[in-house]
Chain A
Amino acid sequence: MIYFKTMENITINIVNSIGDVFAVEAEDGQKVFELISKALRDHKNVVVSFQNVEMLTTAFLNTAIGQLYKDFNESDIKRHLKASDMSDSGKVALKRVVDTAKLYYKDPEAMQRSIDNILGD
């Protein structure tokens, strides 16, 4: 007999995790990052809920979500992580953070090269 292990779904509510409707500070992003990491390491399916979030910065999103691409591979994140209840502008910001993170961790030397480029300008 074949057993299929069903993965458990976990919802991480941003407002509840950081105690604020303004998800703006990098430090608060770190709390959310730690929660998501823990759940993903434990092979859960994670839904990050942005319900009632009134303000978002890329600094928060970089820390909360961008950082995940350092520790987890892209396909695992795609399979096990979902975002919900996001405003349209929030979605645009998150997409940009995610695209930047994928590039950043694939090419750690890129920053050094861009500094060398500006020195050569």
Chain B
Amino acid sequence: MTRLSSINNTFDSYQKLIALYQEHKEKMFDDISIELSYFFSANMCAALGAILDRFKSNLNDIHFVQINPEIERILLKNDFLTYYGRNRALDTHNTTIKFQKLKKTDGKFFKNYVMDELIEGHRSDLPKMSSGVKEKIIEAIYEIFVNAQIHSETEFIYTCGQFFPNKNKIEFTIVDTGIGFKNRINKRFNTKVSAEKAILWAVRDKNTTKEGITGGLGLAILKEFIQRNRGKMQIVSNEGYYQFDASSEVTKAFRGEFPGTIVNLQFSTDDKSNYTLKGEVNLDDIF
């Protein structure tokens, strides 16, 4: 049995999930038993769900043999455990953002999901969030979703999030099980860039692997917003780790690799910045 204990949004927690993947990735027609204890940050369901799907594609059976009752309560509310044979529970406090597994082509479905989970479903409990900030957050989430669609070569995209009303934070995670930043870049440029350097390159303004079409703005604009919003972004891709916030930019290497890419975004919901930028660009001066 593999025990996942105290999973939150830290380098060590991602390392534990990578260790889980490494431990079972070669298994076929087997039983994989998992225990969740102490703490499990709900948004990390996106990463765990992606890993477990990899195991299921090798026809393994997944068993949650022991789950701390507090974790179980949340993972029933956010629908994660309903993918593993459990009945859904009602989220009366409305703080979860549902776990969702989407086909890469399910853009329209993703729109409904974002509307339900981040806008309509939280009108009453998020009075503090200004509409400018809300729009920027949704825009940021979309840029990441579209990046996964365009670049990752994944079959599915996994998303999940969590509101923390007391801390005025939202965590939102988007995961794919595609080729990862490193392989995408090395394939395009015929290079041997490490996973960490690949991420560093991709988040720089104007850098893109697209051929014949411009790009490279989504992650750069996201970084600028994260800085102003005093949020945080983390990228796990293959064995590379990248973290950015207003005060630092860090890269590290994991032991073993994640089979794809995790992008975790943390936003401050009490951000009072003005994002309207009125009159900054004249329509006649654009082209």
Q: Across the interface, do B214 and A67 meet the contact criterion of CB distance under 8 Å?
A: yes
Query: For chains A and B in complex, what number of residue pairs have CB atoms within 8 angstroms?
Result: 130
Residues from chain B with a CB closer than 8 A to the CB of A63 are: 213
Q: How far is the CB of A82 from chain B (nearest CB, A)?
A: 7
Q: What is the number of residues of chain B that contact chain A, defined by CB distance less than 8 Å?
A: 47
The answer to the question of A97 belonging to the interface, with a C-beta cut-off of 8 Å to chain B, is yes
A75-111 vs B, Cβ < 8 Å mask (1 yes, 0 no)? 0011001111010110111111110110111000011
Q: Across the interface, do B283 and A57 meet the contact criterion of CB distance under 8 Å?
A: no
The answer to the question of A59 belonging to the interface, with a C-beta cut-off of 8 Å to chain B, is yes
Known: A89-B276, A91-B286, A103-B206. A118 touches B197 (CB 8 A): yes
Residues from chain A with a CB closer than 8 A to the CB of B155 are: none
Of A69, A81, A89, which is in contact with the most chain B CB atoms at under 10 Å from its CB?
A89
Q: Across the interface, do A118 and B200 meet the contact criterion of CB distance under 8 Å?
A: yes
Q: How far is the CB of B103 from chain A (nearest CB, A)?
A: 13
Q: How far is the CB of A48 from chain B (nearest CB, A)?
A: 10
The answer to the question of A1 belonging to the interface, with a C-beta cut-off of 8 Å to chain B, is no
Of A57, A70, A105, A121, which is in contact with the most chain B CB atoms at under 10 Å from its CB?
A57
Q: Across the interface, do A70 and B212 meet the contact criterion of CB distance under 8 Å?
A: yes
The answer to the question of B48 belonging to the interface, with a C-beta cut-off of 8 Å to chain A, is no
Residues from chain B with a CB closer than 8 A to the CB of A93 are: 217, 221
Q: Across the interface, do B283 and A86 meet the contact criterion of CB distance under 8 Å?
A: yes
Residues from chain A with a CB closer than 8 A to the CB of B167 are: none
Known: A20-B108, A91-B281. A59 touches B218 (CB 8 A): yes
Q: Across the interface, do B191 and A59 meet the contact criterion of CB distance under 8 Å?
A: no
Cα A11 to Cα B216 with chains together (Å): 29
A-B contact pairs, 7 of them (CB 8 A): A25-B146, A57-B143, A62-B214, A67-B214, A104-B206, A111-B208, A118-B193
Q: List the 7 shortest-distance A-B pairs measured between CB atoms, nearest first.
A: A58-B217, A66-B214, A91-B281, A59-B146, A101-B214, A104-B214, A118-B201
A→B interface (CB under 8 Å)? 20, 22, 24-27, 55-60, 62-63, 66-67, 69-70, 74, 77-78, 81-84, 86, 88-89, 91-98, 100-101, 103-105, 110-112, 114-115, 118-119, 121
